[in-house]
Structure 1
Amino acid sequence: MELMQKLAVLADAAKYDASCSSSGGARRDSRAGKGVGSTEGMGICHSYTPDGRCISLLKILLTNFCVFDCAYCVNRVSSNVRRARFSTAEVVQLTLDFYKRNYIEGLFLSSGIIRNGDYTMEQLVEVARSLREDHHFAGYIHLKTIPEASPELIEKAGRYADRLSINVELPTEEGLKALAPDKQVADIRGAMDTVHAGIVRNRAERREQAGQPLRRARPPRFAPAGQSTQMIVGADSANDGAILRTSSALYGSYQMRRVYYSAFSPIPDASARLPARSPPLQRENRLYQADWLLRFYEFDVEEIVATSDGNGMLELDIDPKLAWALRNPAYFPVDLNTAERTMLLRVPGLGVRNVEKIIAARRHGRMRLDELSRLRAPLAKMLPFISVVDHHPRQRLDDPARLRAELAPAPRQGDLFG
């Protein structure tokens, strides 16, 4: 198969993996010295996926051959798809060629499992090693880690890659056993443990070395952009509460940088165990919003999933922060001139940056309604939940159902159907 034909097959096969963010990578720029590539600076040509996400990484699989038979995966061993495989040298050359043409800022590389986990991981690591050592590539590298690979190989991958990711695949062990019987929760969590331990150890070593009176070269960074993971939404019966509880545990146990949520998409020759259609697209969006509340807005997972109907599913017509506020009118209105940061973060429509602006502004005087327009925040959404010197929402909070009807946007067809 010609190289461009392989690229067409293996780039398409990689589209199902959502965890390819370059945020948090080490700041390296070859313009300051020897090498090729950069993780920062101007001149990077971005591409847009069909669903609107902006990417600037060459995102491919090493191969879509796989010995596993995960029911939800289009590349499973029993799937009737066109197969292809790159050599490690071909991936290296493609990355360099695309970078030199200013198409990308780095590489996201995953793979089906060929032979076994160690053999596959060796191939992935060799690509990263060659880029870094043979070609002095200073761009971003994200490697998908094979959970079944040995800790030694995972440690080696962390020395070359900016980010490592291990997909948890499904939110519950029951779902994994049913749909991916070749994969084991113990292997996935063990690989996450190895990456997390390596990051913690490397940071401690670098801090210790920086404090030595005789400055020696610091140890090279280990996965400086941390680790991430991905869960498939809607392939099994797990509700949003189960998904978010798993995410919360992953953030707490492994200091995960990101948990990505990927709505299940029906695939050719699908198993009868899978649903016939995708979940609503809005469900994925609501999970990301809830994830943001966990990471940046000081919400507890049980507050988010305590939905009014008790089914553990986030409401699709309103965002989870507004849903919480409508369920808890006793906490409102929040006085922007006196409230603590924790309560300001719970006001619908107020983001983290605007909360910091409000805290800074009230040192110089009491806030009034006309000053809120400078925040560029959705005032119509905020006003029922806040009070300032010249504004109080009066009785609007006494009728949450009517307030919800006023604030809920009209549904769009694309949001409701997969």
Structure 2
Amino acid sequence: MSERIREKLQILADAAKYDVSCSSSGSKRQNKDRGLGNTGNGICHSYTEDGRCVSLLKILFTNVCIFDCAYCVSRRSNDVQRAAFTVQEVVDLTINFYRRNYIEGLFLSSGIFKSADHTMERMLQVVKKLRLEENFNGYIHLKTIPGASKEIITEAGLYVDRMSINLEMPTEAGLQQFAPEKSHAEVQKDLGIVRDRLIELKDERKIIRTVPQFVPAGQTTQMVVGAAQETDQDIIMMADRHYKEFKLKRVYFSGYIPINEQEKALPMVGSAPPLLRENRLYQSDWLMRFYGFDASEIVDDAHPNLDLDVDPKLSWALRHPEQFPIDINRADYRMIMRVPGIGVRSAKKIVQARRFGQIHIDQLKRMGVSYNRAQHFIRCVDTPKFQRDQTPSQIRNQILQMGNSKYTQQLSPQLGFGF
């Protein structure tokens, strides 16, 4: 590798670290005709479903940008070192790194230079060369450039596993304040192009034996959290809307990092992003996607912000004492899932096990239930008769005293341990 390529790689890989939307792909692209690489099932930035640790070459095509988003390190007014790859350089880096077993896929994003279509065309050339000339079958995640034409986006979707485009800010007001050259409508238009094409191909599969593979791992988006004065309700409602309207696989939340001291309207949050708030948002996202919660149950006008001291599932349970305690041997699956301390896998075990007899406390513990937390919301066959009901504030204080950190851990990607 030449010194110039090494320098470009250092600059453009560092600039790409602020984009967090490069997790699980869920793609199953198979290796054909003795090609190079194999996407596999559930490739991700850290661990696959079978426990393998994998990595992606995560880079920008260029950090030159015509936009001046106040929160972005690559904004045109920022005095940073600029660089740009050629199409062939990205292809060569990907292939050479893969052959050295450094990576198993490519995450390619870019600043916008000249125009959206000009940038998107260059990125399209990269993925076409990898697929058609190098016969590369590894995972490719491509960031859509806002405002790119429908034809380019549709063609790019034929060669990549996942596409994503950043929503940037949770509210239109925040976007207009810090990135007035962008709009949610433009991003939503591009999300709609991919969604509509996926629907068209799904319909075609009903009457045509073979149809082209198009963005098999779906599409995602990302929002910057904490730059504007948005509430958690603004963020969660916006995520919920995009899940429902555009059938997204994931919505990512990126804690705002203060990289622009000249913009006085941006908050000063120290040297680190608000990770606890970001974690609570991901927990809320998990509740909506896997636990059957509606966004309006997690946040509402009376509770526009998440409780940072306890996780959102426990917070909901404490706000609805009329729903508890439930009889673990009679309650339906939906209500069991809503009990703090019981995850998806544990709930399924409970429903399955009680077909053969009533469930006792020791069985719940062996199923992976966090009984110290769940005991306040359930009743079993051997629940002590003298156990008195506690008020929500008493339950909250007791859990916090026992060590809140033990109970508010982030939900497991394996869905085995809930909160």
- TM-score > 0.5 by shorter chain: yes
Query: Matched residues in 1 for 2:46 and 2:390: separation?
Result: 48
Corresponding residue for 1:16? 18
The number of residue pairs the alignment matches comes to 396
Render the CA deviation track for 1:227-284: whole Å, top value 9, x for unaligned. Answer: 0000000000011000000000000001100000000001044411211115531000
Q: Find out whether 1:166 has 2:165 as its counterpart.
A: yes
Query: Matched residues in 1 for 2:144 and 2:222: separation?
Result: 12
Render the CA deviation track for 1:358-386: whole Å, top value 9, x for unaligned. Answer: 11111111111111122123221111111
Report deviation, 1:46.
7.3
Distance 1:393 1:340, change over 3 A: farther
Q: Aligned to 2:304, what secondary structure does the other structure show? A: coil
Distance 1:84 1:36, change over 3 A: same
Q: Structure 1 segments of 4 or more deviating over 6 A?
A: 44-48
Report deviation, 1:206.
2.5
Q: Point out where structure 1 has 5 or more consecutive residues left out of the alignment.
A: 49-53, 211-217
Alignment of 1:143-162 (within 5 A): 143-162=142-161
Moved more, 372-381 or 280-289: 372-381
2:204 and 2:211 in contact (8 A); partners too: yes
1:329 and 1:397 in contact (8 A); partners too: no
Which of 280, 291, 301 aligns to 2:295? It is: 301
Query: Matched residues in 1 for 2:231 and 2:294: separation?
Result: 17
2:64 and 2:82 in contact (8 A); partners too: yes
Distance 1:119 1:362, change over 3 A: same
Alignment of 1:280-291 (within 5 A): 280-291=274-285
Q: Which letter maps to 2:228?
A: D
Q: Aligned to 2:93, what secondary structure does the other structure show? A: helix
Distance 1:240 1:393, change over 3 A: farther
Report deviation, 1:105.
1.2
Q: Which letter maps to 2:274?
A: P
Q: Which letter maps to 1:21?
A: S
Corresponding residue for 1:275? 267
Corresponding residue for 2:35? 35
Alignment of 1:75-114 (within 5 A): 75-114=74-113
Q: Aligned to 1:198, what secondary structure does the other structure show? A: helix
Query: Matched residues in 1 for 2:386 and 2:305: separation?
Result: 31
Distance 1:349 1:393, change over 3 A: farther
Corresponding residue for 1:388? 380
Which of 209, 214, 221 aligns to 1:222? It is: 214
1:383 and 1:393 in contact (8 A); partners too: no
Report deviation, 1:337.
1.0
Q: Aligned to 1:80, what secondary structure does the other structure show? A: coil
Q: Aligned to 1:384, what secondary structure does the other structure show? A: coil
Query: Matched residues in 2 for 1:114 and 1:411: separation?
Result: 47
Q: Point out where structure 2 has 5 or more consecutive residues left out of the alignment.
A: 48-52, 409-419
So what's the TM-score if we normalise by structure 2? 0.90
Q: Which letter maps to 1:143?
A: L
1:88 and 1:123 in contact (8 A); partners too: yes
Corresponding residue for 1:330? 322
Render the CA deviation track for 1:90-144: whole Å, top value 9, x for unaligned. Answer: 1111111111111111000000000000000001111111100001100000000
Q: Aligned to 1:58, what secondary structure does the other structure show? A: strand
Report deviation, 1:23.
2.8
Which of 7, 10, 15 aligns to 2:9? It is: 7
So what's the TM-score if we normalise by structure 1? 0.90
1:37 and 1:105 in contact (8 A); partners too: yes
1:386 and 1:392 in contact (8 A); partners too: no
1:29 and 1:40 in contact (8 A); partners too: no
RMSD: 2.2
Query: Matched residues in 1 for 2:126 and 2:344: separation?
Result: 39
Corresponding residue for 2:192? 193
Query: Matched residues in 1 for 2:167 and 2:44: separation?
Result: 31
Query: Matched residues in 2 for 1:338 and 1:92: separation?
Result: 58
Q: Aligned to 1:187, what secondary structure does the other structure show? A: helix
Corresponding residue for 1:402? 394
Query: Matched residues in 2 for 1:107 and 1:208: separation?
Result: 34
Report deviation, 1:205.
1.9
Q: Find out whether 1:266 has 2:258 as its counterpart.
A: yes
Query: Matched residues in 2 for 1:279 and 1:85: separation?
Result: 28
